[in-house]
Amino acid sequence: MQAALFFALLVLQGGGVVWHDVHAFGVEGKAWKGTKAPFDRLPAKAEAKVRKAVWDLSRDSAGMCVRFATDATAIHVRWKLTKKRLAMSQMPATGVSGVDLYVRHEGQWRWLAVGWPEFPVSSARLVAHLAKTQRQYLLYLPLYNGVSSVEIGVPSDAKIEKGKAPKHKPIVFYGTSITHGACASRPGMAHPAIVGRRLGYPIVNLGFSGNGRLETEVAELMAEVDAAVYILDCCPNLSGDEAGKRLGPCVRALRAKHPATPILVVEDRTYPSSFLVSHLRKRNSENRKSLRAAFDVLVTAGQKNLHYLRGEELLGVDGDDTVDGSHPTDLGFQRQAAAFLRVLRGILPR
Amino acid sequence: MQAALFFALLVLQGGGVVWHDVHAFGVEGKAWKGTKAPFDRLPAKAEAKVRKAVWDLSRDSAGMCVRFATDATAIHVRWKLTKKRLAMSQMPATGVSGVDLYVRHEGQWRWLAVGWPEFPVSSARLVAHLAKTQRQYLLYLPLYNGVSSVEIGVPSDAKIEKGKAPKHKPIVFYGTSITHGACASRPGMAHPAIVGRRLGYPIVNLGFSGNGRLETEVAELMAEVDAAVYILDCCPNLSGDEAGKRLGPCVRALRAKHPATPILVVEDRTYPSSFLVSHLRKRNSENRKSLRAAFDVLVTAGQKNLHYLRGEELLGVDGDDTVDGSHPTDLGFQRQAAAFLRVLRGILPR
């Protein structure tokens, strides 16, 4: 009798919502098991290996997502953030610290709902009034904040289970703030996420804001992940000299363990104000020249399965697709995803 | 001697920047002279006429811009905000409270720089290292904040003057939060701003977040503005019944003073989650049915030069162009602007 009363109170308190830790379903985009905290992007051992800035940024949950299947008529999410700063001046809190829900519908991933963050614990009913039909869902975690726990809540009469995961090896992105997700309005709109949805591949996001610097210690960590493709997209955080000097060691660090896996080398996106601001035009030009020369050296030296994406293909020609002259908006990310998809479709096995 | 020293100190303090109040160049998008504060969107007399929510929202500078011409090698902006809340959860501070600079280049408006806001006074060097060439500029003011002063700063050796203004009558938009600009990343990316740049028309933005309700008192105020086109785009803030009932009185209020000016009636955009969430699908369907019926009654009654834009044309088919299931991101605004441009190009004189 007492137990029944206690249970009734519990359900009442939770509004009839039963909460499930997402570890029950698995966290995609997390490439290592031995992490210091449950949603870290790099393994615990990396703390002694990479620069502090890289380590600190690796604790953001960028690129992580959870696949689940449920017949729930409503879906709730509760997530605990690690950082108080919910937003950036040029990126909204929904992208920095929010969660983003997609659903499989007629053979495609369709956006369904976003979760607005609060510090430290956010709890949101993402969607309600759904027909009681089993569906596949994909929940993206915050791009520029960390999470210490994530739970999915469904009504007590709902079934919920692990979702169908892609069978492919992941596409591993190593990059800058742009790869990290600045400045998407929601986590699902960063280009690695769009690429993953469109291709049906898992992705691993190793974007480190301001600190994607083609470092061999990061490449050595990447090489621990058995990837479908490795993407090296660090130019915006490097001078021309650095871009040229660092490409070779990074590629060789990957090749030491993966002699044949495709590697995609990406130039820096065109600064949209570079048509008037000459030092930005110069920076684009020097970075590209230097990266291309280093790439050609690798090819000439016999490296196989190296691919190249030109920077001028990444954004549009109207100059209107960044928020600040550097970071894509959702418009820029959609265009950038299209550029990656064009080249990746030629690289990935059919 | 003392005066020279004083002047030298002044220039030193200002870093050699000379500041110009934008009223020297004129404020476009402000349709009334008799305003309570210098950047209000409605005249002072409206305070006694419209609901308080509409009045309060009319004090945001949405849609206002300043045209100037200068040969300055650097452009600074200083603006004083009226509201402390710089951002919204799903819209970044750059869009809510920032300023946005475009430049005329090869016959087109090209984005150049954004100004990040601070409260109460923001001061930003938007761009530097420009060649010393006379150019036309367009500076957009904050979308969801008010300004009490705006100044443009240029180096003391620069010439600066009023820019070339479009000779057309303005396109007057009356709408909801979407017209108001939620959730553009920068003021220049709200669809009325894009439409204005692309057509070369001044625009007047009468978007009132959550309060664009096809009210006759607002239509009567709109009728005081001699417009190229009046746009009525309030459906998202109305029930189906209201949309139908209120269209006629609004159109008649405009027609009382402007018997022949084109009026464009716009349906509500499709909710991107409506494919699964039936009450949103129902809301879209009822609003459209009701608005269309009221529109057809007006046409049957002999009203001329009425035009109609269908809601399903406003956003894309991928469902990825809003941040929150209602408000467009820059991706959504670009698509929405394209939809408006298609219909406006058929309406405006060639």
CB B251 within 8 A of CB B306: yes
From the list B276, B278, B194, B291, the residue with the least C-alpha distance to B241 is B291
Tokens of A120: 């430290």
Chain A touched by B110 (CB under 8 Å) = yes
Query: Mind telling me how many Å the CA of A328 is from chain B's nearest CA?
Result: 10
Q: Do A319 and B111 touch (CB under 8 A)?
A: yes
Q: Do B321 and A330 touch (CB under 8 A)?
A: yes
pLDDT at A198: 98
Q: Count residue pairs from A and B with Cβ separation < 8 A.
A: 144
Q: CA of A109: which chain B residue's CA is closest?
A: B318
Q: What is the pLDDT along chain B (350 residues), one digit of tens a residue?
A: 455 544 444 444 456 999 999 999 999 999 999 999 999 999 999 999 999 999 999 999 999 999 999 999 999 999 999 999 999 999 999 999 999 999 999 999 999 999 999 999 999 999 999 999 999 999 999 999 999 999 999 999 999 999 999 999 999 999 999 999 999 999 999 999 999 999 999 999 999 999 999 999 999 999 999 999 999 999 999 999 999 999 999 999 999 999 999 999 999 999 999 999 999 999 999 999 999 999 999 999 999 999 999 999 999 999 999 999 999 999 999 999 999 999 999 999 87
Q: Do B114 and A189 touch (CB under 8 A)?
A: no
The pairing of strands B229-233 and B263-266 is: parallel
pLDDT at A349: 84
- How many whole angstroms separate alpha carbon B295 and alpha carbon B309? 11
Residues 6+ apart with CB under 8 A from B115: B77, B79, B94, B98, B99, B100, B101, B122, B124, B126
ipTM: 0.94
Instruction: Give the residue extent of every domain in chain A.
Output: 16-51+61-162, 171-347
Query: Mind telling me how many Å the CA of A271 is from chain B's nearest CA?
Result: 10
Residues in A touching B116 (Cβ below 8 Å): 89-90, 324
Identify from A276, A277, A282 which residue to disrupt to test chain B contact, counting B C-beta atoms within 10 A and taking the largest count. Answer: A276
Tokens of B321: 């162009």
Cα–chain-centroid distance for residue A16? 33
- Tell me which H or E stretch contains A95: helix A93-97
What's the N-to-C CA distance of chain A in angstroms?
A: 60
Q: CA of B273: which chain A residue's CA is closest?
A: A112
Between A87, A116, A278, which is nearest B129 by CB?
A278
CB A49 within 8 A of CB A253: no
- How many whole angstroms separate alpha carbon A20 and alpha carbon B228? 57
Which architecture, in CATH terms, is B16-51+62-162? Answer: Sandwich (2.60)
Residues 6+ apart with CB under 8 A from A122: A77, A78, A79, A80, A81, A97, A98, A99, A115, A116
Chain B touched by A299 (CB under 8 Å) = no
Residues in B touching A324 (Cβ below 8 Å): 94, 114, 116
Kindly indicate whether the domain formed by A16-51+61-162 is annotated with CATH number 2.60.40.1480.
Answer: no
CA distances in angstroms from B234 to A316, B243, B255, B298, listed in the order given: 32, 8, 18, 17
- How many whole angstroms separate alpha carbon B171 and alpha carbon B148? 25
Residues in B touching A133 (Cβ below 8 Å): none
Which stretches in chain A have pLDDT values below 50? 1, 5-13
Pick B171-347's CATH classification: 3.40.50.300, 3.30.1330.200, 3.40.50.1110, 3.40.1010.10: 3.40.50.1110
Q: Do A325 and B130 touch (CB under 8 A)?
A: no
CB B98 within 8 A of CB B186: yes
